[in-house]
Structure 1
Amino acid sequence: MPRLFTGLEVPTDVAFALSLKRGGLHGARWIDTENYHITLRFIGDVDNHTADEVADSLDRLSNSLAFSVRLTHLGVFGGDKPRALYAGIEPNESLARLQAAHERMLQKAGLEPERRKFVPHVTLARLRGTSAFDIAAYIANAGQFMPLNFEVGRFVLFSSKDSVGGGPYVVEQDYPLAA
């Protein structure tokens, strides 16, 4: 039974620049750079028939237009109990439209609606036992975040192993976007 999600790949040069933020944070389990991505829609564990339906349905979204993404800041999920450090993305109408189209398409394919609000980001580290003070100090000491831009020419269907998270992720199918 595959565990699937859709997302955007992070180019190697951008991943390298993000990797320079690694280190110096107690309780951080840093994500390998080859597993950096922007999740569009978590699908979850599905049977092979549903996986095939999802893959076929997503093909209809490849008429979406290519666009660019801009990473602008560090952030954290979890508030007083931090659970993930991420690089945040500047608000982007094209990205929001693509994600909404994924949500609609996957609901039509019979999947339950996503309950979490879409917050586009690249997870840099999973956190365990990291205090809010530790994360605030880390972000303050990380220095100015120089924005990172990249062009998005496709989205992909990823699979992952049933694990704690953080990869390895495999591209099962890619869907080019219109130029």
Structure 2
Amino acid sequence: MRTFIAIDPPEAFIDETADLARYLKTRIDGRFIAREAYHVTLAFLGDADQRQIASAMDAIDAVADRVSPTLSPGGLGVFGKPKDCTLYLELQKDPSLLTLCKGLREELESRDVPFDSKPFLPHVTLARRAHVPDGNLAGIPFPNACRADRVVLFKSVLTPEGASYSPLYERELG
């Protein structure tokens, strides 16, 4: 089962991120992500078996009470070339957010749960196959900073329309 662990942002943050996406959609061509799919990936596990899923739940339990990180927008970013990229809302590297990610990854490692070990870049994906124009995008309505309150182990199913995510396990933070 394809899985990942992520922060599920509070509803107000999702609403404001959806407002940002609507604004960008009038200026940028691309396949914009549904608001239901907004998340901040902490660890991508990939295909996990039942033992690894249970161990991932234990890892979440081990770190969930430690911190309640702040999600603070830091700007827009892209993966890939500006004419065909993934557009994202970058989040500032709040110390408690970094602590949560590091602690979670250490707990996963100690339980022999494999995950993608790429460096953590906190972000929310906004669009894929985006064509970002040259120049400045003035007046961008970035979301307000907020406290993250929930971490979730998600199941990810890839379809021709894009990925769909279903929660398998969740815990409150802080």
The 2-side partners of 1:58 and 1:161 are apart by: 21
The 2-side partners of 1:46 and 1:66 are apart by: 27
Name the structure where strand makes up a greater proportion of residues: 2
Q: Is the 8 A contact 1:76 1:82 kept in 2?
A: no
Q: Secondary structure at the match of 2:12?
A: helix
Q: Is the 8 A contact 1:55 1:157 kept in 2?
A: yes
The 2-side partners of 1:19 and 1:152 are apart by: 17
The 2-side partners of 1:49 and 1:122 are apart by: 29
Report how many residues are paired.
Answer: 170
Equivalence for 2:43: 41
Equivalence for 2:113: 111
Amino acid at match of 1:107: E
- Name stretches of at least 5 consecutive residues in structure 2 with no aligned partner: none
Tell me, yes or no, if structure 1 residue 5 matches structure 2 residue 4: yes
Q: 2:69 aligns with which of 67, 70, 75?
A: 67
The percentage of aligned residue pairs carrying the same residue is 28
Amino acid at match of 2:154: F
Q: Structure 1 residues 67 and 50, CA, compared in 2 at 3 Å: closer, same or farther?
A: closer
- Name stretches of at least 5 consecutive residues in structure 1 with no aligned partner: none
The 2-side partners of 1:77 and 1:40 are apart by: 17
The 2-side partners of 1:9 and 1:113 are apart by: 19
Equivalence for 2:157: 161
Structure 1 residues 46-101: Cα deviation after superposition (integer angstroms, max 9, x where no partner): 11222122212321112212232111311111145643100111121100011011
Equivalence for 2:93: 91
Q: Is the 8 A contact 1:72 1:148 kept in 2?
A: no
The 2-side partners of 1:157 and 1:173 are apart by: 5
The 1-side partners of 2:11 and 2:145 are apart by: 12
Amino acid at match of 1:46: A
Q: Structure 1 residues 37 and 164, CA, compared in 2 at 3 Å: closer, same or farther?
A: farther
Q: 2:167 aligns with which of 162, 167, 171?
A: 171
Q: Is the 8 A contact 1:74 1:145 kept in 2?
A: no
Amino acid at match of 2:147: E
